[in-house]
């Protein structure tokens, strides 16, 4: 059994150079996940000199640990957005996701990227009687937006109600990133930005090996490793999920539960990938127990895990991502609510248009400084939930190894052999090396 994601076994990674000399540039992109690489791709034919740095190897963090679906049927997220903002905004978000998927598909075709892309319908189901009406309402809403929705059934899982939509895909996200990156210049690996200082019209960005003087900075580091001017922790929480890949012979399928319990399933070559046990990172953080529960679920399907891994994504309180300008000549794209594989491409076009001072229909929808801060913060409930989790993380584990980000006690994840932070999602390998931000210092 392998304790890393299946995507990492199916690819030969390309190495990119370290940036070890001081440099001046029009745009610096910090982070080489799907967001950063997509932004670099969009900017390649502009006159602006753009460079991208990643603290480690590109693509290996959140993107390489995802389940690799390109779909607009995203569990209960659309309903969360409709509840926060109403049906008009819900419709706009839905259209944005369909556009984003089409953009990724046209990039794959144009650049001839071999990333095991398969067109497969997306199925949404529930086994929870209380959710049937919610899916029926979602079906009506999708139909009102001119999307064809069919009822569906499958013997793979137990379900009380199931719908299906077409024009969605599954792919290998790591092959996609490397396929795109090989067509691009100015990518630097093992170059970690540790500090950013604003000086006159420039940002001075200090890496471990150099100083980058940039007119514009794009934060594509997933969790923004700095808090100001963007007070991130009160605008979002982090959610961890557990995944397995097991040998499986069956037709291609892409399935997702509506909400409770959250389950996502897809096939990849002759494997079935199964995601479950999602939880807010400061609650239920017994990784071993979560992996054991996942294994039990796949054993019930008569499968055994060949791969086990976990992943963390950023969940915003109102359900919409944060994409856009956060300060003069500083931009961000994050908070995709576990649906960043296509949204990151949409983000890349928004950031490009903002940098070039062009209009873009999605600027106000995803504005990271959007108004109604109270709603964004989710009111007292969300603040209490977030703070109480951190405080209990600190007190329960106070004798453990400490995270170098904000000193939160780390928890040992004995399946993946990592030290994981239950406050902000940083992860360290057994030697104390950072493998997941926001921490940017190793443990001594
Ligand atoms: C369990 C799970 C399943 C998912 N499945 C799907 C799915 O099926 N479909 C979908 O659309 N989305 C999915 N997602 C969401 C998706 O994976 C993410 O939204 C997306 O990968 C985020 O990409 P990113 O580039 O923003 O972040 P990342 O991939 O994490 O990239 C950030 C990069 O920044 C670098 N970095 C960080 N700090 C620094 C620094 N200081 N200096 C330099 N570099 C730095 C890191 O090394 C990293 O490479 C899933 C998420 C989870 C948790």
Parse the chain into domains and list their residue ranges.
12-65+175-233+319-375, 73-172+235-316, 397-436
Burial label for 43, CB within 10 Å (0-12, 13-18, 19+), is: buried
Q: For CA atoms 193, 368, 336, 237, give the dihedral sign.
A: positive
* Ligand 1 centroid to residue 59 C-alpha, Å: 8
95-to-129, 137, 146, 335 alpha-carbon distances in Å = 29, 18, 11, 18
Mutate to test the pocket of ligand 1, among 32, 33, 196, 219 (most ligand atoms within 8 A of CB): 33
- For a pocket test of ligand 1, which of 122, 274, 340 has the largest count of ligand atoms closer than 8 A to its C-beta? 340
Same fold, 12-65+175-233+319-375 and 73-172+235-316: no
Q: What is the pLDDT of residues 342-396, one digit of tens each?
A: 999 999 999 999 999 999 999 999 999 886 555 555 556 655 655 665 566 556 5
Residue with CA nearest ligand 1 atom 3? 66
| Cα of 36 from ligand 1 centre, angstroms | 10
Q: What is the distance in A from the centroid of ligand 1 to the CA of 61?
A: 6
Q: Domain 73-172+235-316: which CATH class?
A: alpha beta
pLDDT band at residue 234 under the 50/70/90 scheme: low
pLDDT at 425: 85
Give CATH for domain 397-436.
2.102.10.10
What is the pLDDT, as a whole number, of residue 360? 97
pLDDT tens-digit readout, 148-182: 999 988 889 999 999 999 999 999 999 999 999 99
pLDDT on residue 388: 60
Tokens of 253: 């399928």
Q: 411-421 burial by CB neighbour count: b if 16+ within 10 A, else e? A: bebebbebbbb
Nearest-CA residue for ligand 1 atom 25 is 33
Kindly state the average pLDDT of the residues 263-285. 92
Average pLDDT over all residues of the chain? 91
pLDDT, tens only, 27-68: 999 999 999 999 999 999 999 999 999 999 999 999 999 999
The CATH class for the domain spanning 12-65+175-233+319-375 reads: alpha beta
- pLDDT for 392-440, tens place per residue? 655 655 556 899 888 888 989 999 999 998 888 889 999 999 888 888 8
């Amino acid at each position: 059994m392998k304790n890393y994601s299946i995507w990492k076994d199916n690819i030969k990674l390309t190495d990119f150079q370290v940036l070890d000399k001081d440099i001046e540039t029009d745009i610096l992109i910090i982070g080489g996940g799907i967001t950063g690489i997509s932004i670099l791709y969009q900017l390649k034919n502009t006159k602006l000199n753009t460079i991208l740095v990643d603290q480690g190897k590109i693509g290996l963090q959140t993107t390489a640990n995802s389940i690799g679906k390109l779909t607009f049927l995203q569990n209960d997220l659309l309903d969360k957005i409709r509840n926060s903002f109403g049906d008009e905004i819900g419709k706009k978000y839905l259209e944005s996701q369909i556009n984003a998927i089409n953009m990724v598909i046209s990039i794959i075709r144009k650049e001839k990227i071999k990333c095991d892309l398969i067109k497969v319908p997306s199925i949404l189901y529930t086994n929870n009687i209380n959710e049937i009406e919610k899916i029926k309402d979602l079906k009506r809403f999708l139909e009102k937006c001119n999307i064809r929705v069919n009822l569906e059934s499958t013997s793979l899982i137990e379900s009380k109600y199931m719908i299906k939509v077409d024009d969605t895909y599954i792919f290998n996200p790591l092959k996609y990133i490397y396929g795109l990156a090989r067509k691009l210049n100015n990518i630097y690996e093992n170059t970690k930005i540790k500090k950013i200082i604003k000086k006159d019209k420039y940002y001075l960005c200090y890496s471990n090996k150099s100083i980058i003087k940039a007119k514009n900075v794009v934060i594509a580091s997933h969790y923004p490793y700095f808090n100001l001017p963007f007070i991130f922790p009160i605008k979002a929480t982090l959610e961890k999920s557990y995944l397995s890949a097991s040998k499986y012979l069956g037709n291609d399928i892409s399935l997702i539960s509506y909400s409770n319990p959250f389950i996502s399933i897809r096939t990849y070559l002759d494997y079935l990938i199964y995601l479950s046990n999602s939880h807010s990172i400061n609650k239920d953080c017994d990784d071993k127990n979560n992996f054991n529960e996942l294994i039990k679920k796949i054993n019930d399907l008569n499968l055994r895990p060949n791969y086990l891994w976990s992943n963390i994504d950023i969940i915003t309180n109102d359900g919409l991502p944060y994409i856009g300008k956060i300060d003069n000549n500083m931009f961000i794209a994050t908070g995709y609510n576990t649906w960043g594989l296509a949204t990151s491409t949409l983000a890349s076009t928004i950031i490009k248009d903002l940098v070039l001072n062009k209009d873009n229909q999605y600027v106000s929808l995803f504005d990271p400084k959007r108004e109604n801060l109270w709603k964004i913060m989710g009111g007292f409930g969300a603040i209490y939930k977030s703070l109480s989790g951190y405080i209990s993380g600190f007190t329960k584990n106070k004798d453990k190894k400490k995270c170098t980000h904000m000193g939160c006690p780390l928890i040992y994840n004995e399946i993946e052999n990592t030290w994981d932070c239950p406050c902000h999602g940083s992860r360290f390998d057994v030697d104390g090396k950072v493998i997941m931000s926001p921490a940017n210092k190793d443990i001594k």
